[in-house]
């Protein structure tokens, strides 16, 4: 099993000068205590579907940088396009025409897009989407899903988050995902007050099984929005391009008014975009919304190359097929070992949980920990992603690894046997 001596040494050094040492997914200040210390903390380099940590361990990376890695780390075509632009200029006073090319690509690619607006982070564009819905309707309230995640700006933080005022979130109305009646009731209870409904295309809730929408859920939500003049915002920052190149709204048979994109949009170069229907354009035009790096040319060039290549090779189809093979292979391993492995979500954006009768998640976490320590990087709480660089050999390594580690976990926790 891998050791992380250098990672831990670097963590101590980081902790001297960085609040928490490491923040975000790796443990919010408790990085070293992250489940059983099974995760590497610092990366040395990455290529294709692999990352190598500072201790020299190699991982098949099913976290895909939490979404951006769709074509493989350091995809040669995307990175060549970025470097070509780098030689000409990046962050300049006057913008490069590559901005137009990128907007044209997005309009051509996304079903609901009549225009595109660029920023850097997913949170920049979810914020712009909410501002746009409010300005377009002259209303204040936003219906959001209980488990939704839309970034770290104040308006979308959970109630009780340190530093966030009640006044900043008092116009958020929370409903459970997939509960159309709850949404309808919320709309009835607040007549003429709802500016927008904001949701991810399906529920990628952390720590639990993911939930797909009921068959008629999205069409019913779409109609409700039409009937009441509510702006429908699909947050596709995480799922974008992995289910349907034309947008996850298109995948579920509807057309969003506003759609947010980030992560896979430039295969890891820093880019996010809001796209939307022509009816929403005036509202966006009225706003003063920008950032120093938002129109930098290199990530825009990378995005054009990413969108072009994704279409050419049918990246979405490849990621789906890889996910299907992965999930069915893992299921086979679980069945052969007589344990219950739940697999939820869609194949290119999936969640696995090893079930135990007490629902303690302890065998699950230890199992994931053992896999990570043998070179298969899977998050113990977050949904996973596939990318187009994963090979059958990577999948076979994953199955062999899963089999070996499951046997260890069953010995320790025989109660998980069916």
Give me the residue whose beta carbon is nearest to ligand PMP: 122
Q: What single string gives the DSSP state of each residue in 235-280?
A: E-TTTTTTS-TT-HHHHTT---SEEEE-GGGGTTSS-EEEEE-GGG
Q: Would you say 122 or 268 has its CB closer to ligand PMP? A: 122
Q: Would you say 106 or 237 has its CB closer to ligand PMP? A: 237
- Measured CA to CA, the distance from residue 203 to residue 221 in angstroms comes to 15
State the nearest-atom distance from the C-beta of 55 to ligand PMP, in Å: 27
State the nearest-atom distance from the C-beta of 167 to ligand PMP, in Å: 22
Cβ neighbours for 109, distance < 8 A, ≥ 6 positions apart: 245, 246, 307, 311
Q: Would you say 200 or 254 has its CB closer to ligand PMP? A: 200
State the nearest-atom distance from the C-beta of 413 to ligand PMP, in Å: 31
Q: Would you say 113 or 349 has its CB closer to ligand PMP? A: 349
State the nearest-atom distance from the C-beta of 148 to ligand PMP, in Å: 7
CB 177 within 8 A of CB 202: yes
Q: Which residues pair with 346 in a beta bridge?
A: 349
Q: Would you say 57 or 306 has its CB closer to ligand PMP? A: 306
Q: Would you say 11 or 149 has its CB closer to ligand PMP? A: 149
Q: Which residues bind ligand PMP (CB under 6 A)?
A: 66, 121-123, 126, 149-151, 200, 235, 237-238, 262
If we measure between CA atoms, which residue out of 383, 392, 406 comes closest to residue 66? 383
**Distances 41 to 30, 56, 178, 303 between C-alpha atoms, Å:** 11, 12, 36, 28
CB 203 within 8 A of CB 237: no
State the nearest-atom distance from the C-beta of 123 to ligand PMP, in Å: 3
CA angle 384, 385, 386 (to 5 degrees): 135
Q: What single string gives the DSSP state of each residue in 99-158?
A: HHHHHHHHHHH-TT-SEEEEESSHHHHHHHHHHHHHHHHT--EEEEETT----SSGGGSP
Q: Would you say 150 or 374 has its CB closer to ligand PMP? A: 150
Q: Would you say 113 or 416 has its CB closer to ligand PMP? A: 113
Q: Would you say 205 or 409 has its CB closer to ligand PMP? A: 205
φ and ψ at residue 173, rounded to 5 degrees: -115, 120
103: region left, alpha or beta (phi > 0 left; psi from -120 to 50 alpha): alpha
State the nearest-atom distance from the C-beta of 103 to ligand PMP, in Å: 19
Give the β-pairing of 258-261 and 231-235. Answer: parallel
State the nearest-atom distance from the C-beta of 150 to ligand PMP, in Å: 5
State the nearest-atom distance from the C-beta of 248 to ligand PMP, in Å: 10
Question: What number of other Cβ atoms are within 10 A of residue 240's Cβ?
Answer: 28
State the nearest-atom distance from the C-beta of 236 to ligand PMP, in Å: 7
């Amino acid at each position: 099993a891998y050791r992380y001596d250098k990672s831990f040494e670097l963590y101590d050094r980081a902790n001297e000068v960085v609040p928490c040492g490491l923040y975000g997914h790796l443990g919010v200040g408790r990085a070293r205590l992250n489940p059983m210390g099974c995760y590497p903390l610092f990366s040395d380099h990455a290529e294709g579907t692999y990352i190598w940590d500072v201790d020299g361990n190699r991982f098949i990376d099913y976290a895909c940088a939490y979404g951006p890695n769709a074509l493989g780390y350091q995809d040669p075509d995307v990175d060549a396009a970025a470097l070509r632009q780098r030689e000409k200029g990046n962050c300049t006073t006057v913008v490069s025409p590559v901005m137009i090319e990128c907007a044209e690509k997005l309009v051509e690619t996304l079903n609901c897009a009549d225009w595109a607006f660029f920023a850097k982070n997913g949170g920049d564009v979810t914020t712009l989407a909410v501002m746009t819905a409010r300005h377009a309707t002259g209303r204040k309230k936003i219906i959001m899903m209980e488990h939704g995640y839309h970034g770290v700006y104040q308006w979308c933080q959970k109630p009780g988050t340190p530093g966030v005022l009640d006044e900043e979130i008092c116009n958020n109305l929370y409903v459970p995902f997939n509960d159309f009646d709850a949404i309808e009731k919320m709309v009835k209870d607040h007549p003429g007050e709802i500016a927008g409904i904001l949701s991810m295309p399906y529920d990628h809730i952390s720590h639990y099984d993911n939930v797909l929408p009921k068959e008629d859920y999205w069409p019913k939500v779409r109609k409700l929005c039409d009937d009441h003049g509510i702006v429908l915002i699909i947050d596709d920052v995480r799922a974008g391009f992995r289910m349907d190149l034309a947008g996850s709204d298109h995948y579920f048979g509807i057309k969003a008014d506003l759609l947010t994109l980030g992560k896979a949009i430039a295969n890891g170069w820093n880019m996010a975009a809001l796209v939307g229907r022509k009816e929403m354009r005036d509202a966006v035009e009225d706003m003063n919304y920008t950032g120093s790096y938002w129109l930098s040319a290199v990530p825009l060039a990378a995005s054009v190359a990413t969108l072009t290549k994704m279409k050419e090779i049918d990246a979405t189809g490849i990621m789906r097929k890889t996910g299907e093979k992965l999930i069915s292979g893992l299921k086979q391993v679980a069945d052969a070992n007589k344990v219950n492995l739940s697999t939820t979500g869609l194949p290119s954006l999936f969640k696995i949980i090893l079930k135990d009768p007490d629902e303690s998640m302890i065998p699950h976490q230890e199992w994931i920990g053992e896999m990570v320590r043998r070179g298969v990087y899977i998050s113990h709480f977050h949904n996973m992603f596939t990318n187009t660089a994963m090979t059958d050999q990577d999948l076979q390594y994953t199955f062999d690894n899963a089999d070996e580690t499951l046997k260890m976990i069953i010995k320790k926790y025989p109660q998980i046997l069916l």
